Each structure stands twice: as structure tokens, then as C-alpha cells.
Amino acid sequence: MTATDPALTALAQGWCALSLLHGRIEAHIERALQTRHDLSVREYSLLDVLSRQHDGNGGHLQMKQVADAVVLSQSATTRLVTRLEDRGLLERYLCPTDRRGIYTNVTDAGLKLLAEARPTNDAALREALDEAAKNAELAPLVRVVESLSTPAAALGA
């Protein structure tokens, strides 16, 4: 294949459309969360991921797992955790079975803020997808995103 190969050009156009959709959605959600809850998309995502932890076997995430879940580097995730800890939304403590391990939990204040912000996040996501669906280039991607929210049982999985 050459750089001007039509298959590569179509692939690049698809990637650009996906990147555009992501950027529009993230920007729309960011504005809504910042305006109503003084939260960034990354802060919301971190609270959401950490709120799903549990005390059972494997229920707490290591920082690398958290970083992967919020799509940040480990150092950026640590800085984000520190900012939210300073705001009283997260707390860190030593792992009871491995003194080298540090766990991060969402505080009651963090859970309250997350519960208040969740409808804003969901509505902003819906609005961004509805707006993007009006664009012929983005509409097929919107349909794919919407199909991913369908329960696996309904998909025959």
C-alpha cells in the first residue's frame, strides 16, 4: 500500500471523524459539568471509576488500573487524585494486607457530588450525541456508540 492508497485515506478519514466526535462530546460534557458542579470530565470519570470499587476480592484498583480506566498517565492520575483529595472528595489509606499498597476511596462528599453530577453528565452526553447525529459524517459513529449501550443479553451475547 502507498500513502495515497484509497483504503488508507478512508481509514484516516474514519479516524478523523471518530476523533471529532470524541472531542465534541467531551467538550460538551466538560462545559456542563464545570458550570453546574465545578468538575472536569476527568474528575467526574475518576470519581465514577473509584465509586465502583468494593471490599471483595479484587475490588480495589491499583493506580495503574485507575489510570487506564480514566485514560491518563499514572503521574497525571496521581495529580488528579491529589486535587480531589484536597477538595475532600477522595481519601487514600494503606492497604490492610500489604503496607506498600495505597488505596483510594471516594468520600461521602465525593459520592454526593457524583450523584448530583451523574444526571448532568448523562444529559450532556445525550445532547452531544443528538447534535452529532445531525452530521452525516458523524451519524454512523453515533449509531455505533448508541448500540454499545444496549445490554449484552439484548444483543444475543
In a domain, 32, yes or no: yes
Question: What DSSP letter does each residue of 39-75 carry, written as one string?
Answer: --HHHHHHHHHHHT--SSTT-S--HHHHHHHHT--HH
Model confidence pLDDT, tens digit, residues 7-16 = 778 889 999 9
Per-residue pLDDT, averaged over 70-87, amounts to 95
In a domain, 51, yes or no: yes
Instruction: In whole angstroms, give the CA distance from residue 141 to residue 24.
Output: 13
In a domain, 156, yes or no: no
Q: What is the pLDDT of residue 153?
A: 41
In a domain, 47, yes or no: yes
Q: How confident is the model at residue 150 (pLDDT cuts 50, 70, 90)?
A: low
In a domain, 157, yes or no: no
Cell of 150: 444496549
The total of structural domains in the chain comes to: 1
Question: Does 154 score more than 70 pLDDT?
Answer: no
CATH of residue 53's domain is 1.10.10.10
In a domain, 82, yes or no: yes
Instruction: In whole angstroms, give the CA distance from residue 90 to residue 81.
Output: 7
In a domain, 2, yes or no: no
Instruction: In whole angstroms, give the CA distance from residue 31 to residue 131.
Output: 15
In a domain, 53, yes or no: yes
Write out the residue range of the structural domain in which residue 93 sits. 8-151
Q: What is the pLDDT of residue 156?
A: 45
Model confidence pLDDT, tens digit, residues 45-69 = 999 999 998 877 778 888 888 999 9
Residues 6+ apart with CB under 8 A from 20: 137, 138
Cell of 89: 472528595
